[in-house]
Structure 1
Amino acid sequence: MRGRSLAAALALAFGATTLAVFVLVGSFLYLALEKQIKAQDDLDIVLAARHARRLAEELESPLGIREHDERLSSIVLGNAAMSMEVFDPSGNRALEHNIAASFAMPATASGAATFTTTFAALPQLKRVAAADRITEADIGEWTGRNGAPIRGILTDARLGNGETASVLVARNMSDRWRLLDQYRDKLHIAGVSGVLLSMLLGYLLIRAALRPVRDIAASASLVTVNRLNTRIAVARVPQELEALVESLNAMLARVERGFQNLSRFTADLAHDMRTPLSNMRGAAEVALARPRSVDEYESLLASNVEECDRLSRMIENVLFLARAEHPQFVKHMREFDAGQELHHIADYFEGIADEAGVRLRVSGTASVTADLELFRRAVSNLLANAIRYTPQGGEIVLDASATVDQVRVSVENPGQPIPAEHLERIFDRFYRVDPSRSALPSSGLSQGSTGSTGLGLAIVRSIMELHGGSVQAQSDAKSTRFVLTFRRGG
């Protein structure tokens, strides 16, 4: 099943974000425009009502309303949405402008309607007294004929003879609502278009931005078994992907190193297994070339048994190294006295050391937490290696010491120094410093005497890695020293 496109997912997320921004910005602009329009229209209504009341106050009698109707109606001329009615002190309509066309008052407010019927039809209106100041708070809102929204002010005006007339100034808001509706529709169109455009541009830009990822994939596809040295170029990789590329290159380097080690290990293993097999085959062919005595056949069988033992130890050590790569291999961690265990190991090797003409000496004491069997195997491999290369009459020293944060166990023997260029590689599998590959006779130790298999020091390093510790070789003209370092407390 093919996974979803990252570019498409990011483009959709980008489009959703853009839509949310457009909705917020569009709503803000719409509400701001609505508020501004309403405020401006309310101000026009208030100013018209004030002007109309001031002109009415200049009239001497109700008769002047009809005589100066043009002067009064000029206040709302030029604006087809504005309407005005003036009622004389008796409540009869004395002047009207644009009521039928724009004001769209209810039927009770048209024709021969009086102030009482008009005001009764508009209960939303608050009547402003002649002595009170007209403000935006005095504006009322109602629905006129055909459902048109109307906003207006009803105010009294004192005539020159002391009588009171009433002035109603109103504005039909239909054109404003149509304007706002058109503005809202344009915002919708602009928003949808903007979202689609942002998604398209975002998809294209994201695909362009992800091109380095595709280049990384293309470079990685070039890595094969025969081209493990291929690396991903980091020169043109964005900063955000540098860590990824460096990690991939480091992984490829580890894979290449592991493959090379595996190839070398396989070749060395084949070489070392071929030697005892060739020895057994050659000895058998010589024995079969002509009749032999019983002693000769017994000698042949004894030689073959030794070669079989050598192959068995080699296979056992290879299996141990394979199992040691599993992180759960160490299962029996416990605390014990390293000095005491060194004494036990020295006693075990005492016979072999006597045959080789070397002495063993143990010193020091320290408490260490480790797998006891693996500890014995590591020290036994080092001791067997030391006995192999210690000249007759030499002394091998096994020592245990402790500091605040670590425990050190060392095996030191005199002899020819190891060249510096070999000190790090001697822990590799099947690596030997001496080209002759001299063999040590089998010690019969289950703890790990490896003879000449070339795996003893490799096993030591694997054991120390399982314990989170390390092994180090030091060599000079005086002696060669192997040091096992355990972390304090395991």
Structure 2
Amino acid sequence: MKPSSLTTRLACLFALLCMTVLGVAGMMLYRGLETQLTLRDDAALVTRVKQIRALLQDQNTLQLLHDRPRLFENMMANREVLLVLRFPGEQPLIDINPGGIAVPDLVPVASDVAVSLTAVQRSIDAHGTPFSALAANLRTGQAGRELRITAGRLMGERTRILDNYRQQVVWMALGGSVLAAAVAFILVRRGMRPLGALAAHAASIGIDNLGARLDAARAPRELAPLVAALNAMLERLAGGFSRLSQVTEDMAHDLRTPIGTLLGQTEVALGQARSADYYHALLVSNQEELQRLSRMTANMLFLARADHADTMIEPARLDIAAEFARVADYFEGLAEERGLRIEIACAGQVWADPMLLRRAMANLLANAVHYADAPSTIVLSSRADADGVTLAVENAGPPIAPHQLARLFDRFYRADAARRDSSQSSGLGLAIVRTIMALHDGSAQAASSDGINRFSLHFRM
């Protein structure tokens, strides 16, 4: 099922919010109106009972009530739905009840107590219509006899008013919600236009114009973080594409040299019959070139695997001096051939993957043995502080320019372009070192000053 658009969802949410607000507001107004109407009707009922009390205080009126009850019925019938006047235990003097309402059993207000709203008792008749009633006694002066006044009223008019009002509230909430949804849809659609423009601009950026950036100045304030994030992503993509292009060019150049050598030597050998010694020398030369290709392929495969986020390492606590000694033993012969001496001045431990640490150390030491001035000493050292552990390889050699130091750890980069054709280097050794340190959440750095080149590995605590 295709998901609904953001505009539709926002419009529906706004309509639902409006319906809720209008419904709650209408319900509160409905309850307020119901309370006011109830108080009005109860007050009218209390006023009528007070008026009847005051009217019957006159003995002449009471006598007239005995003599001509129909007169009072005609006077009161249009004003009250229920009115019963009776002496307890006797037939009613007046019984006005055109609706045939069952007279409830009420507790009367004493004759010497003022009638108030608290005396009104409410109930619901058989048809569900609210009914209010009030009973009060009146001392007549006839040997202490008390006349009971029972008055009541069905709230049919109030019920009809409230029903009509409730229907209006419902229709107002529904109509307001529909109107709000339509208005919200139009406003949100107009408000989303900048996002559409950004999407179109982003879609127009391709390989040919990776340098283009989204215009943050024309974007709404709410979209500024999104624009900044997209521009940062484009910056990373442009940088990555540029590096990939450079790596591809360098790799093609490095592959072309051994492949060209292999092809050239093979074509020469096939040009005419050769001696066995010539073919033996050719195979030895080809073997060296193939070994170089194999090393380059293995290094590229390692870097490609290390770039994946799921690459895992198995760190352990390692003795720094023992690891440096292990790597130095391997390069001892090569160092002596060039008149170099390896000195180990380190102590302590480091938390790292054993195989990866040895590979990083070996690459740094191989680099130092290859480029150090002879005779000189290569120093392997370590330093621990509150921030972590730093391992360093120092050698005397030609100074490295500052702009070259920043790129030494890039793939296929060589500080000396004249060594590009060297069969001993693929330009990936320091790139592998940096990748290994990234896997350890550490860093690799290079420095050159006073004729000393220093390569260091920093492991964070």
Structure-2 change in CA distance of 1:159 and 1:222 (3 Å)? same
1:393–1:122 distance in 2 versus 1, CA, 3 Å: same
Pair 1:486-2:456 in alignment = no
Q: Deviations over 1:42-83 (max 9, x none)?
A: 111212211221122123364334799999789969x75666
Q: For residue 47 of structure 2, what is the amino acid of its counterpart?
A: L
Query: In the TM superposition, what are the counterparts of 1:412-427 in structure 2 within 5 Å?
Result: 412-427=394-409
1:409 aligns with 2:391: yes
Tell me the residue number matched to 2:103. Answer: 122
Q: Does residue 336 in structure 1 map to residue 318 in structure 2?
A: yes
Matches of 1:90 and 1:405, distance apart in 2:
103
Amino acid at match of 1:137: T
**Alignment match, 1:37:** 37
1:206 aligns with 2:163: no
Distance, in Å, in 2 between the alignment partners of 1:143 and 1:105 is 14
> Does the aligned pair in 2 maintain the 1:61–1:161 contact within 8 Å?
no
Distance 1:91 1:333, change over 3 A: closer
How far, CA to CA, are the matches of 2:276 and 2:88 in structure 1? 156
Partner of residue 114, structure 2: 133
Q: Which moved more, 1:205-214 or 1:154-163?
A: 154-163
> Following the alignment from structure 2 to structure 1, what is the Cα–Cα distance between the partners of residues 187 and 421?
68
CA drift of 1:429 comes to 0.7
Deviates more, 1:338-347 or 1:270-279: 338-347
**1:302 aligns with one of 266, 270, 284:** 284
Which stretch shifts more, 46-55 or 152-161? 152-161
TM-superposed deviation, 1:455: 0.9
8 Å contact kept, 1:58–1:160: no
The Cα shift of 1:290 comes to 4.3
Asked if structure 2 preserves the Cα contact closer than 8 Å seen for 1:335 and 1:370, the reply is yes
Separation in 1 of the partners of 2:248 and 2:297? 12
Q: What's the C-alpha RMSD, in Å, of the aligned pairs? A: 3.3
Using structure 1 for the length normalisation, give the TM-score.
0.83
* Aligned match for 1:467, one of 418, 435, 440: 440
Distance 1:319 1:140, change over 3 A: closer
The equivalent residue for 1:249 is: 231
**147-156 vs 457-466, greater mean Cα deviation:** 147-156
Given that residues 49 and 167 in structure 1 are in contact (C-alpha distance below 8 angstroms), is that contact kept between their aligned partners in structure 2? Answer: yes
Question: In structure 2, what is the Cα distance between the partners aligned to 1:192 and 1:480?
Answer: 79
Provide the C-alpha distance between the structure 1 equivalents of 2:63 and 2:404, rounded to a whole number of angstroms. 127
Residues 328-382 of structure 1: per-residue CA shift (max 9 Å, x gap): 5454422222222222222211221222232222222221122222222212211
Q: What is the SS of the residue equivalent to 2:419?
A: coil
Deviation at 1:250, TM superposition (A): 2.0
The residue type paired with residue 452 of structure 1 is S
Once the two structures are superposed, residues 230-257 of structure 1 have per-residue CA deviations (whole angstroms, 9 ceiling, x without a partner) of 3333224344433333222222222222
Give unmatched runs, 5+ long, in structure 2: none
Give the aligned partner of residue 330 of structure 2.
348
Provide closer, same or farther for how the CA distance between residues 224 and 88 of structure 1 changes in structure 2, counting only shifts above 3 A.
same
TM-aligned CA deviation for residue 457 of structure 1: 1.0
- Asked if the contact 2:55–2:61 (Cα under 8 Å) also holds between the matched residues in 1, the reply is no
1:323 matched to 2:305:
yes
Q: Matched residue pairs, number?
A: 460
**Paired residue type of 1:459:** I
Which SS does the other structure have where 1:349 is aligned?
helix
CA distance in structure 1 between the partners assigned to 2:281 and 2:61 by the alignment: 154
- 1:351 is aligned with what amino acid? G
Deviates more, 1:122-131 or 1:470-479: 122-131
Relative distance call for 1:389 and 1:151 in structure 2 (3 A) is closer
The farther-off stretch of 188-197 and 420-429 is 188-197
- 1:205-244 to 2 correspondence within 5 Å? 205-244=187-226
8 Å CA contact retained: 2:81, 2:99: no
Correspondence for 2:376 among 387, 394, 410: 394
Q: Which residue of 1 aligns with 2:425?
A: 452
Deviates more, 1:422-431 or 1:4-13: 4-13
Give, in whole Å, the separation in 1 of the partners of 2:134 and 2:358. Answer: 106
Unaligned runs of at least 5 residues, structure 1? 108-120, 442-450
CA apart distance, 1:430: 0.8
Name the stretch that deviates more: 171-180 or 30-39. 171-180
CA drift at 1:201: 2.6
Query: Which residue of structure 2 aligns with residue 379 of structure 1?
Result: 361
CA distance in 2, matches of 1:390, 1:384: 10
- Percent identity over the alignment? 38
Distance 1:311 1:46, change over 3 A: same
CA distance 1:89–1:296, shift in 2 (3 Å):
closer
Shift of 1:276: 1.2
Post-superposition Cα deviations, 1:408-445, rounded to whole Å, max 9, x if no partner, equal 2111111211111110111111111112125666xxxx
Deviation at 1:165, TM superposition (A): 4.7
- Aligned in 2, Cα 1:69/1:425: closer, same or farther, shift over 3 Å? same
Partner secondary structure for residue 317 of structure 2: strand
Note closer, same or farther for the CA distance 1:373–1:171 as it changes in structure 2 (3 Å cut): closer
* Worse-superposed segment, 54-63 or 162-171: 162-171
Contact residue 82 and residue 98 of structure 2 kept, 8 A? no
Determine if contact 1:334/1:370 at 8 Å carries over to the other structure.
Answer: yes
Instruction: Provide, for residues 288-324 of structure 1, a one-character-per-residue CA deviation record: whole Å limited to 9, x for no partner.
Output: 4444444333333322222122111111111121122
In the aligned structure 2, how far is the partner of 1:220 from the partner of 1:33? 57
Pair 1:339–1:155, CA change in 2 (3 A): closer
Deviation larger for 137-146 or 462-471 = 137-146
C-alpha separation between the residues in 1 aligned to 2:317 and 2:264?
50
**Does the CA contact (< 8 Å) of 1:62 and 1:89 recur in 2?**
no
